[in-house]
Chains A and B, each alone.
Chain A
């Protein structure tokens, strides 16, 4: 009897092993194929020359429009994707580029657009406000500071990259 049980066990293990081989042989390429976008995430980071020299950037935020070439799989939108950034120098003299997307619900923020709130970024949708350094004003809808674009300076010109991940 003991011998029988071990035979059954052995058969079960071989059967499981064979099943595992068959399943993984078939599924491995397919799953790898499906998760490819996950593994390629963030690849192809590109910096765009926004046609702005360092000297032109002041302490006052200015709106800069630039287009990013975006490849959406097999679909490449003509003319790329239009983006805006608020570009300025912070207190240390470093260049900062804020994303204009409000952290509350995704409206677009403006600098100094509301006479009531001087020298602040203001979102017209729900009156969200940010200080000049991008920090959200406590008590207004946004719960975190504005996103920053990665920036680079090459040959005295500003290059804007992707949004920094917090």
Chain B
């Protein structure tokens, strides 16, 4: 039955080559932790992706209860964390996942750097990886404000003031981030939009490019 459905779809869309390409590509032994335990350093990229998936899922679920508004944001976070079953766990996954994803991303970057994997012909994928790094930092910065507690508020204020020191453009960048003259209601609204729409969209695009390039170029050879 399942096979009949698959064949029906495959006849029309020719999907076999797509997943076969992913499924059948050979993975060299030097990245396989089952062969050399030290190869676990090659797992950091995959684990980063895993945490990103956790972040996206937990973020979507948190958005079922969260409201980006200075009057209700804190109350809604407080409600979803303390009044709902597993609220503390779902928010915990998102909160700690943010830190863990930065750590994993950092370790992955170091692995690529110290194994010289960014060299010819993989220069471009390194650049994409760095852009992913910036987007993730942006996600961290914008997400930090959303609970609208004192820590969030004052950290964002400092962040915006740092942005304001950029010569010439500084004040404009600050107003853009704030959405007004102060860190307030409009800042929260646009940080929310950046955090859940713009930056994740950029992240997904970059991740797609990152993975396509890995499939094209393969994993860098052993040292």
A30 to B88 alpha-carbon distance, docked (Å): 10
Do B79 and A74 have beta carbons less than 8 Å apart? yes
- Given the complex, which residues of B lie within 8 Å of A74, measured CB to CB? 72, 75-76, 78-79
Asked whether, in the complex, the Cβ of B72 is within 8 Å of the Cβ of A33, the reply is no
In B72-116, the 8 Å CB interface with A consists of 72, 75-76, 78-80, 83-87, 89-90, 93
In the assembled complex, the Cα of A29 lies from the Cα of B97 at a distance in Å of 14
* Bound-state Cα–Cα, A39 to B80, Å: 15
Is B90 a contact of A30 with CB atoms below 8 Å? yes
Q: Does A166 lie at the interface of the complex (its beta carbon under 8 Å from any beta carbon of B)?
A: no
Residues from chain B with a CB closer than 8 A to the CB of A29 are 86, 89-90, 93
Is A26 in contact with chain B by the CB < 8 A criterion? yes
What are the interface flags for A1-37 relative to B under an 8 Å C-beta threshold, 1 for contact and 0 otherwise?
A: 0000000000000000000000000110110111010
Contact stretch, chosen from B1-9, B57-65, B169-177: B57-65
Q: Are A73 and B90 in contact (CB under 8 A)?
A: no
Which of chain B's residues has its CB closest to A76's CB? Answer: B75
Interface residue SS majority, chain A: helix
Interface contact A75-B85, CB-CB below 8 Å: no
Decide if A75 touches B72 in the complex (CB within 8 Å). Answer: yes
Contact of A30 among B61, B75, B78 (CB under 8 A): B61
Q: How far is the CA of A36 from the CA of B90 in the complex (A)?
A: 13
What chain A residues lie within 8 Å of B72 (beta carbons)? 74-75
Which residue in chain A gives the minimum CB-CB distance to B50?
A22
> Which residue of B72, B80, B84 has the most chain A CB atoms within 10 A of its CB atom?
B84
Q: Does B54 contact A (CB under 8 A)?
A: yes
Instruction: Flag if B84 contacts A30 (CB, 8 Å).
Output: no
Bound together, the chains give a CA A29 to CA B84 distance in angstroms of 11
Residues of B within 8 A of A39 (CB): 85
Interface string of B41-55 (1 = CB under 8 A from A): 000000000000110
Interface residues of A in 72-95 (CB under 8 A from B): 73-75
Q: Which residues of B, 112-158, contact A by the 8 Å Cβ criterion? A: none
Say yes or no: B86 contacts A27, CB within 8 Å.
no
* A73-B65, A74-B72, A74-B79 known; A36+B57 contact, CB < 8 A: no
Query: Are the C-beta atoms of A27 and B57 separated by less than 8 Å?
Result: yes
Given A39-B85, A74-B72, A75-B72, also A33-B61 (CB < 8 A)? yes
Q: Are B90 and A33 in contact (CB under 8 A)?
A: yes
CA distance A30 to B93 in the complex (A): 10
State whether B85 touches A33 (Cβ < 8 A).
yes
Q: Which residues of A from 22 to 81 have beta carbons under 8 Å from B?
A: 26-27, 29-30, 32-34, 36, 39, 73-75
Residues in chain A within 8 A of chain B (CB atoms):
26-27, 29-30, 32-34, 36, 39, 73-75
What are 18 contact pairs spanning A and B, CB under 8 A?
A26-B53, A26-B57, A29-B89, A29-B90, A30-B57, A30-B58, A30-B90, A30-B93, A32-B85, A33-B61, A33-B84, A33-B90, A34-B64, A36-B84, A36-B87, A74-B75, A75-B72, A75-B75
**A-B pairs, 6 with minimum CB distance:** A74-B75, A74-B79, A30-B61, A29-B86, A29-B89, A33-B90
Chain B residues at the A interface, C-beta cutoff of 8 Å: 53-54, 57-58, 61, 64-65, 72, 75-76, 78-80, 83-87, 89-90, 93
Besides A27-B57, A33-B61, 8 other A-B contacts (C-beta < 8 A): A26-B54, A26-B93, A29-B93, A33-B84, A33-B85, A33-B86, A33-B89, A39-B85
